[in-house]
Chains A and B, each alone.
Chain A
Amino acid sequence: MLDPRIKAIEHRLSQVKNIIAVSSGKGGVGKSVVSSILALILSKKGYKVGLMDLDFTSPSTHLILGIKGLFPEEKEGIIPPTFEDIKFMSIVYFSKDKALSLRGQDFSDSFIEILAITKWNKLDYLILDMPPGINDATLDVIRYMRKVKFIIVTTPSILSFSTVKKLIDTLNTLKIEIIGVIENMKSDQTYSIGEELGEVKAKFLGEIPFDPELEKCFGNTKMLLTTKFSRELEKIVNEIRM
């Protein structure tokens, strides 16, 4: 019983130069916002960018970017719709934003199915918005997207950073490249996790202060790009080589 979809995945991704998974051990740290705005920033710089929301049970990148009314074109596979020059793929096209509870194998089957039929064609960057935790999505991305690199997002909280250390350890063990760690929602009262990253062998990319204005900009990309959050993220993007 051979699954022909597996072999198709490498063909579908053959023209994608860089795959970047935005991940964390914990939820609520800002992965989806980083993923969405990272895609906007790279696209604005002139790169060909794709964004895939892998948080199948709680997708939110479409809400952050204000994407609605789109559906993939069916043409010898499926062509992701383009939104502000970003090729965008999400389970919401198919789940119609209804609740979708998936057990492990069902997640993997959905993941494989979408990858096997989605024709990204030429991309400089494919950004993956990962669900929280070190689970099926992380393992499947590592298994089926061998050239993936990780950007890890944490808050300054020890609750977040303790799980991030486990994620870093897992990726290092599997010899998966980690671009680095972004400390999000930084406030003056919190200590810096930058110093602690040396011991877990991951580069500190920078910090993004807590931005109370961000929430009201969700759904409007022009406003999103004027936020302090976006400016700080762009500084980080300019500093790193991806």
Chain B
Amino acid sequence: MHEWALAEAIIYTVTEIAEREQFKEVSRVNVKVGELQQVDLEIIKFALTQLKRGKLKNTEFRIEPVRARLKCRICEYVWDFNKNELDEEVAEAIHFVPEVAHSFIKCPNCGAQDFEFVEGRRMYIESVSGVR
């Protein structure tokens, strides 16, 4: 479960923030997860419930997906990422390292592989709130 490692990364980061902000308790953490990475949100949620302790014991984690959109740097065409257009092996590779999409995905308009991720590339922590 690669998702477990991502959940650990959230816990490490929020724990550090809680120390820095001198929170007695972390009440809520909002996390956005880009769909390009095809992370299983249920596994992330489960991992977080297993990993949270100390100041994070009662933390509510809100995990929300973000649609992945790509933009061609050559013709500026913008399109939505669609996992169903990829074969299983390629989808798995992008799941681990999303940038390898540059090896497999082409702009539907001009065929270039020089594109950027407009949104939905990865996971990030949007906000952390707590009680001092």
Contact B103 A7, beta carbon cutoff 8 Å = no
Interface set, chain A 78-112, CB cutoff 8 A to B: 78, 91, 93-96, 98-103, 106-107, 109-110
**Does B57 sit at the interface, judged by CB under 8 A?**
no
Contact B100 A91, beta carbon cutoff 8 Å = yes
Contact A95 B93, beta carbon cutoff 8 Å = yes
Contact A95 B103, beta carbon cutoff 8 Å = yes
Cβ-defined partner of A96 (8 Å) among B2, B93, B98 = B93
**Does A2 sit at the interface, judged by CB under 8 A?**
yes
CB of A121, distance to nearest CB on chain B (Å): 13
Name the residue among A4, A8, A93, A116 with the largest chain B CB count within 10 angstroms: A4
Q: Which of A69-77, A132-140, A233-241 contacts B (4 or more CB under 8 A)?
A: A69-77
CB closest chain-A residue, reference B90: A96
Contact A102 B99, beta carbon cutoff 8 Å = yes
Contact A2 B5, beta carbon cutoff 8 Å = no
**Does B4 sit at the interface, judged by CB under 8 A?**
yes
**Does B85 sit at the interface, judged by CB under 8 A?**
no
Contact A4 B6, beta carbon cutoff 8 Å = yes
List B contacts of A2 (CB < 8 A).
13, 17, 124-125, 128
Q: Whole-angstrom distance between the alpha carbons of A94 and B124 in the complex?
A: 22
Cβ-defined partner of A77 (8 Å) among B5, B113, B121, B124 = B5
**Does A119 sit at the interface, judged by CB under 8 A?**
yes
Q: Whole-angstrom distance between the alpha carbons of A110 and B102 in the complex?
A: 11
Name the residue among B9, B93, B94 with the largest chain A CB count within 10 angstroms: B9
**Does B64 sit at the interface, judged by CB under 8 A?**
no
Q: Whole-angstrom distance between the alpha carbons of A111 and B34 in the complex?
A: 18
Contact B1 A75, beta carbon cutoff 8 Å = yes
CB of A90, distance to nearest CB on chain B (Å): 11
List B contacts of A119 (CB < 8 A).
5
Cβ-defined partner of A4 (8 Å) among B1, B12, B94 = B12
**Does A174 sit at the interface, judged by CB under 8 A?**
no
What are 21 inter-chain pairs, A to B, with CB distance below 8 A? A3-B122, A4-B6, A4-B13, A4-B123, A4-B124, A5-B6, A5-B9, A5-B123, A7-B16, A74-B1, A77-B2, A77-B4, A78-B5, A91-B100, A94-B93, A96-B89, A101-B113, A102-B99, A110-B100, A113-B96, A117-B6
The 4 closest A-B pairs by CB, nearest first: A77-B5, A8-B9, A76-B4, A4-B9
Residues of B bordering A, CB below 8 Å: 1-2, 4-6, 8-10, 12-14, 16-17, 89, 93-94, 96-100, 102-104, 113-114, 121-126, 128
Additional 13 contacts, C-beta under 8 A, given A76-B4, A113-B96, A117-B96:
A1-B124, A1-B126, A3-B125, A5-B9, A6-B13, A7-B12, A74-B2, A76-B5, A94-B94, A102-B99, A116-B6, A117-B2, A117-B6
